Structure 1
Amino acid sequence: MEILNAYDLTGSYRAAAELCGCSHHTVKRAVDERAAGLVPAVRRARLIDEFLPHIEGWVTDSNGKIGADKAHDKLVTLGYTGTERTTRRAVAEVKAQWRLGNTRVHRPWVTEPGLWVQYDFGDGPLVGGRKVVLLVAWLAWCRYRVVIALRDRTAPSVFAGLDRVFCILGGAPTYVLTDNEKTVTTGHIAGVPVRNRDAVSFGRFYGVTVLTCEPADPATKGGVENAVKLAKADIVPTDTNLLQAYESFADVVAACEQFMLEINDREHRITGRRPVEMLAAERPRLHPIPDLPHTAGLGVTRQVPKNTPMITFEHCQYSVPATLLGQSVWVRHHPGSDEVIVCALDDGGPLEVARHARATRGTPAIDDAHFPGHQPKTPGDYRIRARTAEEEAFLAIGEGAGLWLKEAAAVGTERMREKMRHAVSLAVLHSSADVDWALGHAAVHGRFATGDLDSVLTAKDLDPTRHHASETTSLAQGTKGWNMLGTNTIDDDELSDEEEQR
């Protein structure tokens, strides 16, 4: 009768089955039997029916989280003799009835333009053994997504990232919603979040109100949660997207920019419009941001000299990119590690430009990439530069000429210019390659006297009138005959008696 009453109320087999906790086939059979004038069938009692109150109590106490296997073990101790399969079916039916009255119903969030921005974080790819942090922001009305790559989640990095978000959006909203991290909330008292003073200062600077959602309740900011999931799926290399590992942090930044271009230029399935078009309509409702970003949390200010890209922080020196010569930067010590971070300003807001390990006094921290085109100068390693026509002609012979010049000058060779002119004349008579070879060998062996260069050239078989002896054409006697000394080369049988006596 309950099945028939439920069907009369809903007019649907499946809806009546959900209300009664049975199959929709059972509802159909009962309705068909009533339509045929048959007596309603009486369901056969099950062994587990008398234990259903216990199952309902366990499901209620566990908020629908108890497993069927645990419920079966409890029923066995109470004397239940049925199978575990029957227990699983009964627990599933009770859970389905419990969810009907306890399911959280989500109402669509309808917001006004220019009011809300939500932001959250996601684990980015690994670069140099360190995991990059993805700051994902979501403008609620137009569904515009912004992804910023950060090196850490400290307050200065997060605030600098939010400034870039506001610059990309073209303004700041009224409210900013996020999680209860230490950068925003220092704790809760009687359920009331206590704001971080740095977050309050940041909000006042940009004219926004920073709010936080309920702890452990991501549904209160579901829009940005979904945006984080999409960003990680398209940016972080996995086995499914077959992305290659990133070689540098700049590659991750480029990937984030490419993701924003693609996702915001795609028609949204709810609004039916592209987020980039809706952002243009919402931008007039955003209030302007200051020309200079909020830099109170970036550290202390330092002025980069006009000819040396080095700054001093806590009595230690650190290098910065050479493009910042004569500009102001901000430097701070990372509280979570022994690192020093340097930030500068560009058109998009604060930007991290250098990160060094903590240096010591007298030992500066230098990154060679900050000095492009720099050639280190070592005392004694002189740069050879021709200043006269004679010097240019001599050095044009080859690398051996430069080596001869350095070695000859180092030992104080006399009349070097005359010997250089003689080498140039030899290069005209023979070839520059042979003279270059001779100069290099003379420099290696220390042959800098007058005539030494000619001797080296002669040793290279450049004199066709000179003959050289060899083992096959030599007239020397040699010592091979001495090998027969002390040996008897005549057989004793061939000697006469007189010779034998002798």
Structure 2
Amino acid sequence: MIKLELIVQVHQLKKQGFKVAAIARKCNLSRTTVYEYLEKDFEEAYRWVDELRIRKKKLDPYKDQILAWLREHPDLSASQISDWLEERCSFTNVGDSTVRSYVRELREKYHIPKTLTFRSYEALEELPKGQQMQVDFGEMKIKTFEGKWKKLYAIAFVLSHSRYKYSEWQERPFTTRDVIRCHESAFEYYGGMSDEIVYDQDKLMTVSENGGDIVYTEEFQAYKQQRGFSVYLCRAADPESKGKIENVVKFIKRNFAKNRVFHQIETWNEQCLAWLKRKGNYQVHNTIKKRPVEVFALEKPHLREVSSLLSFESNHGSSITRTVHKDNIIKYKSNRYSVPLGTYRPHGDNTVYIRAGEDELIIEKTPGGVPIATHPISRGKGQLIKNSDHTRDKSKGIKEYMNIVKGSFDNEEKIEVFLKEIHKRYPRYIRDQLQIVQRTVRDYAPFVQQALDTCINQRLWSANDLHDIAIHLVKLNKIKNPATSSDDPVIEVPSTLIQEKASIREMDGYLKILGGV
């Protein structure tokens, strides 16, 4: 009967003056199907639907087999069943849509709902005021006043603490320059910027994760350095790590843009700002149960000031330095605050930068960089404020992986020092870093120990540096020994890797590192 109701709906929409394309969109049908339904009157449609209900179907001979598969594996898709029919029953005389319809009917008739696998999520504590902003993009087809359809592109911003939103639209896809311009507009709208901004792996901002040594596009790298904010890049295929902005993009598209008529982009953006004031930032947020505009009033003083002229120096004027003591603490106003184990280095630079708000102390290795520790400010004296994360081992499973990598080197003491350093610097990317080390050992075994010695001597603590130096050593060896004797081992190096260039250092840099070789 659902099909009959659909046919009736198609006829009603046609009588109301809707075109076939519009009917197809509203009813989620193809235009061919709409034309087919329009050719049937009610009596013909009733007879046709009744015949469909009682007539034999192509898949009826395999009904018991399909039911058995569904009962054993409730999560089977229609596409898999189609493949199994071809593989196990040698039955190919059926279309995918027919299999989908048949499987759907069997599930409804025999009450076999499709089981879905869900990722487990954990509720997180709300972030401090002014700490984080999330950014994402969206696009949507909008109906114009001329009755045509036009694709518009949007960028959205949200402050993670207050959920205060900002959005801007344009008629063409975004470029990196557009993204930077919109950032400036957002900072002006907010009256400041957060310490950290969360992005997806968008090609407008990033080229590659590169095992933790993130490579940004040239324009965005320059802008990031000038403004001085830190970047949190979501891992690939993990949009949930920026769920706040994902929900904002959906909210803007469904609540503001849907069914709205487009005239011109300036008017559209004015309407969007008015909607944000009227609805987007005024409506009570479902999670925090408060109006974002009211929470933002409390968060705004915690945002970092943004100068009218881009100035790198102005971003660091309020930074205060402290020295990390050998027990991995810093001192601030007669109290001690912990930093992660290993921050103190016996012969290294133990200077850190602190920023103090009303209730929070943020400790950074570089001004405006990623915080290495965040503590509530103690009002007493002589107290030790310690984060349990600074003592707890979170690297379960990593130790075994590191032991495997160590076994590939002759000098275990040196590789252990190197691995500890990259683990300290790239805790979030340690598996990627270990994979790069393993690949370097596999491809450049004769030179990997020399590359490791160079990294340690020059204090280059990154698997990418190890990899690049090994490639450089291969090239130097080929220059020095152009005619390889038959007794010498032949090093098989992938052609793509021989042509690879270090993303940052030029040849002169490596010659200097290697002592003028």
- For Structure 1 versus Structure 2, the TM-score category normalised by the shorter chain is 0.3 to 0.5
For the pair shown, the structure with the greater C-alpha radius of gyration is 1
- Please report the TM-score for the alignment, with normalisation by the length of structure 2: 0.39
- Please report the TM-score for the alignment, with normalisation by the length of structure 1: 0.40
